[in-house]
Amino acid sequence: MTTGAAELVLAPAAGGAILSWRVDGQPMFHGARAAAAPGWNPLDMASFPLVPFSNRIGSGAFLWDGVRHQLPPSALPDRHAIHGVGWRRAWRVIESAADRALLRHEHDASADWPWAYAAEQRFRLTEFGLEIAMTATNAADGPVPLAFGLHPYFDAAGAHLRFAASPIWRSGVDGLPAWSEPPGADSDFREGLAVAATDLDNGYDGWDGRVAIWWADRPYALRINSDLPCAVVYTPASADFFCFEPVPHSNNALNLAGEGRAMPVVTPGEPFSADVRFEVLPREAVQ
């Protein structure tokens, strides 16, 4: 997809992911890693969808309506189910044009997720912006948990991040949320922090839906807006990327026993919808 000096490359076969997004040659997402390798691993993409749930479900197990469900562990070095189902499935191209595309993924009830749903991502590219509208429709027989979030990667070198959210969920050794508290010096981004000064893998509730990202040595910055109420921040100290993930619920929400932000519950035939809007601005406009 191309509009003016903006180019967006999608990878429908790799979990409906984004391969790259550039404006005037500047990468706005972290570039896909090993994208040409066999297998098209979505974890190597620039961004991928989180459906029907975000982040981890502890040990892949949860109770719903009195029934215990056991999901298989994801192909990552822990025992949890993570990131949902859609990122490990090919998506179909329903519509495609120079400045827009519609991808669709349909899931039948299975061991990976016990309820059927249909998910769509609608992309709209402008010269200085990208909009992603996400919809997941309940195709099961009764009300079920169903959600849709986004997992973009950004370049870490020289990056600064600013957003407001509280509380932060601190993680235990198992990577799951253990307790919540107001953000501290290492995790309060209201005035902006250099990404290199942090080392986080945490969920935030109470996000106000606004983010600014800028790089010290690049002309363009990002302003992100979304109607999603939570976020996951992943800033591994040894990596050349970081993640700010707009999401609809707390990590491991199905096992938090009423704490945190619960997963949305959607009735049969109804959708869960959300959107994420990226605006490209001169760096000076957000600093």
Give tens-digit pLDDT for 238-284: 899 999 999 999 999 999 988 999 999 999 999 999 999 999 999 99
Instruction: With H, G, I as helix, E, B as strand and everything else as coil, classify residue 211.
Output: strand
pLDDT reported for residue 255: 97
Q: Who wins on pLDDT, 254 or 44?
A: 254
- Across 87-97, b (16+ Cβ under 10 Å) vs e yields bbbebeeeeee
Q: Which residues are CB-neighbours of 226 under 8 A, at least 6 positions away?
A: 209, 246, 274, 275, 276, 277
Instruction: Record the pTM.
Output: 0.96
> What is the CATH number for 12?
2.70.98.10
- Residue 106 vs residues 1, 100, 110, 165, 261: alpha-carbon distances, Å: 24, 20, 12, 33, 26
pLDDT at 75 over 90: no
Q: Which residues are CB-neighbours of 119 under 8 A, at least 6 positions away?
A: 49, 51, 52, 86, 104, 105, 106, 107, 134, 135, 136, 137, 148
User: Which structural domain, as residue segments, surrounds residue 27?
Assistant: 2-285
Give tens-digit pLDDT for 60-73: 999 999 999 999 98
Question: Is 273 within 8 Å of 188 (Cβ atoms)?
Answer: no
Q: How many structural domains are present in the chain?
A: 1
Q: Who wins on pLDDT, 134 or 44?
A: 134
